Structure 1
C-alpha cells in the first residue's frame, strides 16, 4: 500500500517540499509548491518568503515583490524577507532602513553574525557603516557576537571590519576590555600585533605607558593569570610570591619574591617595537627603599635573538633606566622582567617603554 501523508501533516510537508525545491534551484517546482503552500497557510511569512524567492529565480520579479511586500508586513521572523528588504534598501542607498532590516534579522537569528556576506556591505560603505554603528549603539544582543566574529576574518574583510570597529569607538561606544580581548588575543597570536594593539587601545580603557599598556599595573588582577597580550602576565606559580600594593596616586606596585633556586620570568607583555632604539624605565627597590637589581628587563622573541638592555642606570627613588636596541624583525616582541631568587620581596612597577626622541 503506498505511503500517504495524513492531511493534518500535509501542511508542514508542503513547506518541506518548498524548501527542498528552492534549495536545489528547481524554480518551476518551487513556484508550484510555493503557490500550493501559501494557499494552505496564506499568513505564514516563511512560506511567503520562500515563494517570493522562487518567483525571483524564475524571473517573475514584479510578482515576487508583491509577495515580499505581504511577508514584510508580518513581523521580523523570516530572514529571507528581511534580507530582500535589506537589499532593496541598499539599492535605494537607504542605509538607515538597510541597517534596520539587518538588525531585525540578527535579533531573531544572532548566529547570522558569523556570515560575513551579510555584514560586509555595511563595512565597505561609509553611509551603510554609519547606519550599522547607530544600530550597535542601541546595544542589541547580537552586537557581542558580531564583535567576537571578527577573529574569524582575514585579509580585506578583516581590514574593513577593523575600520568599522575603530569608527565605533571614535563615536563614543567602546565594547570594553573583556569583549575586545576575544579578538585581539588571536590576532596578536597570528602576527597582527599592530592591528590588535590599535583595537585594544580603542576599546579598552587601560592607560598606555609609551609602547606598553598599563605600565602602572592598574588592571593587574591577582585572582587569575592574565592571558590578554596587552596586559601584564604574572605567572601563577608556587615559586613566585606576589602581593599588590595600591598607590595613592593610582596604579599598583607588586611586592615579588622568587623562592625557587633559579631566575624566572615574573612579568611579561607584548611590546610595540620594531627595529630601532628604545628607552625603558621601571621601579625596583627593596623593602627599605634601596634600588634593587634583582629584577631586570629583556626583549624576547620566538624567532629572533633575545635582547638585553645596555646603559643600565640607577635613578633616584628606586627607579632604573636602560637602553634597548632592536636590530632583528619579529612578529611579536615580548618584554620580560626576570626575577632572581630573592630572600626578601622586591617592590616592582611603574614601567614605561619609549623611543628616546619621544621623551
Structure 2
C-alpha cells in the first residue's frame, strides 16, 4: 500500500520532530563510535536509538539509501520499537516499497498510537479506502498529540471536502478535543471553500447537541464576515450562541438597542464597533435598568464615523431610522461594500426623523456606518432599526 503525494509531503513535514525524538540521549552509543571496544557495552535499544537518529537525519537530507539502511539496523536491534518501525516505513514509502512500508507501519501502529508518522500513514490509507470515519479517528489522534500541527490544514482539507468527511470530523469535535480552538483558527489565508466547510462542520457539531463555545467561534465568525460570509456567520452564531445579544439573530441588524455593546464595549463580529479619538467622544450609558444609549460628541472640523456594523442586506431599498436626541441632520448613515464605511456624499432623508433611505446592491462585506457631523451639541441615540422599503 503506497502513500499518495500529499501524504508523502505530510510525512516529510513530521520529520523534524522525528529527529528530535530519535536523538533523545544516546551518549554511550556515540562514544562507542570513537571506541569500537565499547560497542559491546552499549545495550541494543540504545544502539537502535542512534540508528534512528542517523536514519531520520539521512531522510531529511534526501539520502534514501542511507535512511533505509539505518532504519533497518534500528529495527533489527529493537524489532518491536514503534519509532524505528515508523522510520523504516517512511523510508520504504519514499523508495516505493509499498508492501514493506505497510508491514513496518503495522508494527508501529500496534505500539505507537501517538507516533505522528504512523498516524499520517494510516490516515492516508483510510482516505484512499474512502473510510472517512477511520481517517477522522487518525486525524484526531494526530491533533490531540499536536494541536498546532503545521500541516493540519493540508491534512484536514480532503476530509472536509465531502459531507461524510465533515460529519466524521464533527463527531470527533463533539468530544471537545484540545485541538478544537486551533481548528477554527486556520493558520494560512483560508479560501472560501475552507471557511464554508468548517462552518458546516461547526453546524454539524451543534446539531449533535454539543455546540461549540461562543468564545471559540468569535474569531472564526469575524473571519467569515471579513470574507463576505455574514450569512454563514449568523447561522453559526445562532446555532452555537442562541440569545447572544439584543437584536442578534434577525440576520439584518444586531444589537439595535446597544445592550451587547454596553456589556462588552465592542460588538464582536455580530454587533457595533465604536470609534473614538481625541476630538470624538463616543460612550454607551445606561439610561434606566436595561435601557442603554450611545452618547457622542464631535469637536473635529469634519464628519466622523461613530458606529459601524457588518450587515447582510438583500439588494433593494432600505430605511434606517434612529431614535435619537440630536440636531437635525447631524446624524447620517452610510452603506458600503468591501468592509469599509465611507463618509456619505449624498443623504436621502433624515435619520432621526422619518428615516434615511439606503440602496443595497449585491456585494461582499457590506457595512453600515453611523456618522456625526461637527457641532457643539451631544447626540444621544437610544436605538437604531432598519426595514425594507416596499
Residues 1:59 and 1:293: Cα distance change in structure 2 (over 3 Å): closer
Contact kept? 1:310, 1:324, Cα under 8 Å: yes
* Mapped partners of 1:103, 1:148: distance in 2: 16
1:79-90 mapped onto 2 (5 Å cutoff): 79-90=116-127
Name the SS of the counterpart of 1:69 in structure 2. Answer: helix
1:311-330 mapped onto 2 (5 Å cutoff): 311-312=349-350, 321-326=355-360
Residue of structure 1 equivalent to 2:344 = 306
1:201-240 mapped onto 2 (5 Å cutoff): 202-204=239-241, 205-206=244-245, 207-221=248-262, 226=266, 228-238=268-278, 239-240=280-281
1:43-122 mapped onto 2 (5 Å cutoff): 43-112=80-149, 114-122=151-159
Q: Between Structure 1 and Structure 2, how many residues are aligned?
A: 343
1:174-213 mapped onto 2 (5 Å cutoff): 174-189=211-226, 199=236, 202-204=239-241, 205-206=244-245, 207-213=248-254
Residue of structure 2 equivalent to 1:351 = 384
Question: If the length of structure 2 is used for normalisation, what is the TM-score?
Answer: 0.73
What's the Cα RMSD here? Answer: 3.6
Residue of structure 1 equivalent to 2:320 = 280
- In the TM superposition, residue 338 of structure 1 has moved relative to its aligned partner by 1.9
Name the SS of the counterpart of 1:98 in structure 2. Answer: helix
Task: State the Cα deviation string for residues 232-263 of structure 1 (Å, max 9, x = none).
Answer: 11124353152421766x6x522403052544
Is 1:335 aligned with 2:373?
A: no
Residue of structure 1 equivalent to 2:285 = 244
Residue of structure 1 equivalent to 2:24 = none
- Unmatched 5+ stretches in structure 2: 1-31
Name the SS of the counterpart of 1:148 in structure 2. Answer: coil
Name the SS of the counterpart of 1:15 in structure 2. Answer: helix
Contact kept? 1:279, 1:322, Cα under 8 Å: yes
* Mapped partners of 1:244, 1:304: distance in 2: 26
Q: 1:256 aligns with which of 279, 286, 295?
A: 295
Residues 1:158 and 1:30: Cα distance change in structure 2 (over 3 Å): same
Contact kept? 1:31, 1:55, Cα under 8 Å: yes
Name the SS of the counterpart of 1:336 in structure 2. Answer: strand
- Unmatched 5+ stretches in structure 1: none
Is 1:297 aligned with 2:336?
A: no
* Mapped partners of 2:109, 2:61: distance in 1: 25
* Mapped partners of 2:88, 2:253: distance in 1: 57
